Every structure is written in C-alpha cells, then in structure tokens.
Amino acid sequence: MPYLNLSDHRVFYETAGEGPPVVLLHHATGSHNDWRGQMDLLVTAGYAVFAYDRHGFGRSDPLPEWPLDYHDRSVAELIEVLDALALPRAALVGHSDGATIALMAAARHPDRVAVVVAEAPHMWVEPDWLERSFETFRRTVGASPRFWRAVARDHGERGQEVVERWWRRWMDPAFRRWDVSACLPLIRCPVLVVHGAGDMFFPISHSETIAAHIPRSAFRLIPDAGHTPHLETPDVFNDELIAFLVTGDW
C-alpha cells in the first residue's frame, strides 16, 4: 500500500494520471474514498490526481483526539505531503474541513497553491446554526445505516471514534471562538467557492462572505444539493470543477 512517511506519522494516499497536479482533501468524517467520483474525471481531463487520508482518518495512522488547532496542524501536514510527493505547487480541491484547510494553505503558502476549489468551506463558527445543525445531523444522516456503512468502509473499526471525535470538537464550547477568516484577504490564487443551497451545517451567507473576502474568487450555489454537492449532484459539481480548472490562471 502507498504510504508517505511524514515527520511524526504516516498517511495513506492514492494517485492516478499525468499532468498538472490536483490534490483532493476530504471532510471531517471522510477519507480519500470520498473523491472516487472525481478521480477518474480529473485523470480523463489530463490531470495528475492525489488523494490522501489525513492523520487519524482512513488507513493513515490513528489520532484519537483533535486539538483546538487541528485545522492548523492539517495545513502543516498538507505541506509535508506536497514535499513528500515532490510537488512544488498544486491545485487544491477540498470539501468542508478539506476546503478550510485548502484556503488556509493558500493564504499561508501562496507559492505552493495554484488554485483552490472550496466546497462547503467554513472559516468561523456560526453559533446560531451549530447545535441545531448537529442535532439535525444526528436525527437524519447520523441515523442512516448508509452513513455508517460509508464510515465503516472508510475507517474500519475506527469509524465510531472518528465520528465522535468530530462531534466532541465542534460541540466543545471552547471551539466557538475558532475563527480563521483573517487569512481570506491574503489569498492571491484563483478560488472557486461552491455551496449547496440545502447545506445543514452552514448558511449560504457563510460561503458568500468567504468568497467576498478573497480577491480572486467566484461563488457557485448548487440549488439541489446539501453539504456534499460532489456526492449529491456530481454532474453539476464536476462541470463546475473542470470548467474552473481549465479556465483558471494557474
């Protein structure tokens, strides 16, 4: 199995294709498997694609608990991954936490990030939405056998731990002060922000505000999708993804 040996842990990754590099970043309970619908598409479009399991996810080394600054640590991990893959510069496509990590990396390491596609990003906590959205998740998606089958596929016996870790961090009162929005005006590369109109975790205005604070950005609202447009409406998302990568100045 392909692993990258980083400074203090290993990460599992998959790669395919040849061409300009695109790195795919998964969400807070997912893995590289979440991008299976986009990998072949990107390869066919002429890109080299890399998807990896962040520390504590999928087949990568375990990480039982997240610190409050877990996004910052994931940005540092991303740069280590780029170094280990010998990628001086890459396009980043991220979903949810992965989108946040991509935007933070673009602000902090502008020479390493060519363009960003940020699907359902979050850069601060929306207190009025937080508890309500997590309770809605618990009653709907979190009660679905299909969700737990996907968790088991991605994480094996660690699946329950991964979901509970996410829940504990975001419901921790100390996390309500988390806010990394100050980095947005520092992003110089082209950015596409994608948001599903039915996203249960963050309002449309959250992504609109993110896009408005990035100098070179575009915003796309996908009407018939929730928090995961790349899974719920893949044809629409894929069209936006390819069009942006093809026309992006990178």
Q: Give the count of beta carbons closer than 10 Å to the beta carbon of residue 30.
A: 25
Q: Give the count of beta carbons closer than 10 Å to the beta carbon of residue 248.
A: 18
Provide the residue range defining the domain that includes 175: 3-247
Query: Phi and psi of 120, rounded to 5°?
Result: 55, 50
pLDDT of residue 128: 87
What CATH number did the domain enclosing 66 receive?
A: 3.40.50.1820
Contact 96, 119 (CB under 8 A): yes
Among 107, 126, 105, 104, which Cα is nearest to 175's?
Answer: 126
Contacts of residue 105, defined as CB under 8 A and 6 or more positions apart, other chains included, come to 75, 78, 79, 92, 112, 113
Rounded distance between C-alpha atoms, residue 17 and residue 31, angstroms: 20
Which DSSP category does 20 fall into? Answer: S
pLDDT of residue 1: 64
Total count of domains within the chain? 1
pLDDT tens digits in sequence order for the chain, 250 residues long: 699 999 999 999 999 999 999 999 999 999 999 999 999 999 999 999 999 999 999 999 999 889 999 999 999 999 999 999 999 999 999 999 999 999 999 999 999 999 999 999 999 999 989 889 999 999 999 999 999 999 999 999 999 999 999 999 999 999 999 999 999 999 999 999 999 999 999 999 999 999 999 999 999 999 999 999 999 999 999 999 999 999 866 6
Rounded distance between C-alpha atoms, residue 242 and residue 57, angstroms: 27
Between strands 21-25 and 90-95, the pairing is parallel
Token readout for 154 is 């991605």
How far, rounded to the nearest angstrom, does the alpha carbon of residue 247 sit from its chain's CA centroid? Answer: 22
The DSSP H or E segment spanning 193 is strand 191-196
Query: 160 in helix, strand or coil?
Result: helix
Q: Give the count of beta carbons closer than 10 Å to the beta carbon of residue 86.
A: 7
Among 202, 204, 224, 222, which Cα is nearest to 212's?
Answer: 204
pLDDT of residue 247: 82
